[in-house]
Amino acid sequence: MIFPEKLRHCVRENEPLSTYTWLQMGGPARYFAEPGSWDELVELICQANQARVLIRLLGGGSSLLVREAGVDGLVIYLA
């Protein structure tokens, strides 16, 4: 999936999710985004839906286990 230029600053590929969970475990997210505004969040969701990419929302990571194989799709970090 290719994100528009205006979103590339907040999207990374193959981002390790262990950094974002309290247990410090888990594999990478295929796409990982940290939107800086409501507009960026809305645009990320629209782009992912158009491309039929699965979306996961991530908060503080305290009640989360991520498999070592990682997560296919887009993880949006909201904490």
**Tens-place pLDDT, residues 19-47:** 999 989 999 999 999 999 999 999 999 99
**Tens-place pLDDT, residues 48-74:** 999 999 999 999 888 888 999 999 999
Going by pLDDT thresholds of 50, 70 and 90, the confidence category of residue 5 is very high
Domains of the chain: 5-77 (3.30.43.10)
pTM: 0.91
> Is residue 79 pLDDT above 90, yes or no?
no
Listed as own residue / partner, the contacts of 56-62 with beta carbons closer than 8 Å and 24 or more positions apart are 56/29, 58/17, 58/20, 60/22, 61/20, 61/21, 61/22, 62/21, 62/22
